[in-house]
Amino acid sequence: MPLSYVNPTSDSPWGTYLTQVDRVIPYLGPLARWVETLKRPKRTLIVDVPIEMDDGRIAHYEGYRVQHSLTRGPGKGGVRYHPDVTLEEVMALSAWMSIKNAAVNLPFGGAKGGIRVDPKQLSLNELEKLTRRYTSEIGIIIGPQQDIPAPDVNTDAQIMAWMMDTYSMNTGATATGVVTGKPIHLGGSLGRVKATGRGVFVTGREAARRIHLEIIGAKVAVQGFGNVGSSAAELFGQAGAIIVAAQDHTGSIFNARGFDLSLLVPHVKATGGVAGFAGAEAMDNESFWDVDCQIMIPAALENQITAARANRLKARLVLEGANGPTGSAADDILADRGILVVPDVICNAGGVTVSYFEWVQDFSSFFWTEDEINMRLDKIMVGALRKIWDTADQHQITLRTATFAVACERILAARQSRGLYP
């Protein structure tokens, strides 16, 4: 029976995820018997988050924490603050975390959280109240051994510090391991901030090598110039690629000779977006998808590469920095056109991998150097991609279906060994 509390369509996030799971069933062998466990979240919590605003009004926000799977370990996944967040979106994001964590073989299940709010409309004081009340409300299901939140869109190290403090105050013990992505002076890990972008670069570098695409001189377009997009752009820039186009919520910019990232990154920090950058010309948002480039990095929100855009894309390689940026129909079009997609569930797994390092360091109270972290990250991502590539070659399937095959097999094998209770 389908779930009664969501109504997915073929292109909505949960609908996209269900299609991805269906595609993997033929490769699961006898484990396919357990596949329904992947099609429903283990636990779904919806909370009311009331706060008193600076002007005395009482405002209510809707918050979520979904634990899709706890089969292979504690839940793990970020918290998103965005006005368009819905339960269905958080469910899909939590499921993709299960797949991602299993694809990289981290000992975690999958979870995700969010609040339907535009945090840019809140004062710092209101943002802190919102975060603390939300943390208290979901405190009944999170914990260092239960479910470990992290930053996602519009949440950062400061918000993680408030979450950690609230949880610690409520439980009566300082629990640094309850969240990752914390400030370094509070048990955070070196290398965490840029880890997702670094993972995008590492998987992109390996994929480019396999399809004989030279990174030096390759033209790159990046959608989303936040944490993930800007870090990936910087690493590609350092490796000799030319970043020719960028788009964010403020607009789109283009420079055929490439941006000077040492000027663009501070411009975005100072003004809040790419629009108005002096070293580029403005372009309309739809034309961004027609840009002549070899590598396209969607690193903003879901469903950005639609079927229409997939038909026009010029790139040879798509690196999914964002979660769920390509709809199922668009995915098929890209595959038919021979455009290689490194899917989100492996491409952007660098962040959760260093989150795992942070969690391990917090438990052992022994902290590693940034070089050690980057080296271990590189090794894990390269190894995970190799296994996925072998699976894709073996069955002649896309990297996305191969990543799901590797991950679902690990989750369902664990499920089978644990059995059902009672």
The minimum distance between CB 291 and ligand NAD, in angstroms, equals 14
Please give the residue whose beta carbon sits closest to ligand NAD in the complex: 226
Find the part of the chain contacting ligand NAD (CB under 6 A) among 3-11, 46-54, 227-235, 255-263.
227-235
* Cα-based torsion angle of the residue sequence 371, 377, 379, 381 in order, rounded to the nearest 10 degrees: -150
Q: Where are the alpha helices (DSSP H) in 240-306?
A: 261-271
> Which positions from 241 through 260 interact with ligand NAD, judged by CB under 6 A?
247-249
Q: Decide the pairing of beta strands 219-223 and 295-298.
A: parallel
Query: Hey, which bits of 7-131 come out as E strands?
Result: 43-52, 58-69, 75-82, 110-116
- Please identify which residue in 13, 226, 327, 343 interacts with ligand NAD, judged by CB under 6 A: 226
Tokens of 130: 């919102």
> One symbol per residue from 92 to 131: x for binding ligand NAD (CB under 6 A), - otherwise; what is it?
----------------------------------------
42 given a catalytic annotation: no
Question: Smallest Cα–Cα separation from 96: which of 320, 251, 292, 273?
Answer: 320
299 is an interface residue for ligand NAD by CB under 6 A: yes
Determine if 154 is a binding residue for ligand NAD (CB under 6 A): yes
Burial class (CB in 10 A: 0-12, 13-18, 19+), 3: middle
Whole-number Å distance between alpha carbons of 279 and 263: 8
Instruction: Identify the helix (H) or strand (E) that includes residue 102.
Output: helix 87-103
- The span from the CA of 2 to the CA of 21, in Å, is 14
Out of 15, 75, 224, 327, the only residue in the binding site for ligand NAD (CB under 6 A) is 224
- Minimal distance, residue 180 CB to ligand NAD, in Å: 10
Residue 326 binds to ligand NAD (criterion: CB under 6 A): no
Provide, rounded to whole angstroms, the least separation between the CB of residue 162 and ligand NAD. 17
* Binding of ligand NAD by 153 (CB under 6 A): yes
* Residue closer to ligand NAD (CB basis): 188 or 351: 351
Among 76, 100, 112, 194, the active-site one is 112
> What is the separation of C-alpha 274 from the centre of its chain, rounded to a whole number of angstroms?
21
What's the closest the beta carbon of residue 392 comes to ligand NAD, in angstroms?
Answer: 22
Measured distance CA(398)–CA(207) in Å, rounded: 13
Residue 299 phi/psi, 5° resolution? -135, 40
Binding of ligand NAD by 20 (CB under 6 A) = no
- Should residue 223 be labelled a site residue for ligand NAD when binding is judged by CB under 6 A? yes
Contact footprint for ligand NAD (CB under 6 A): 151-154, 196, 223-229, 247-249, 273, 299-301, 321-323, 348, 351
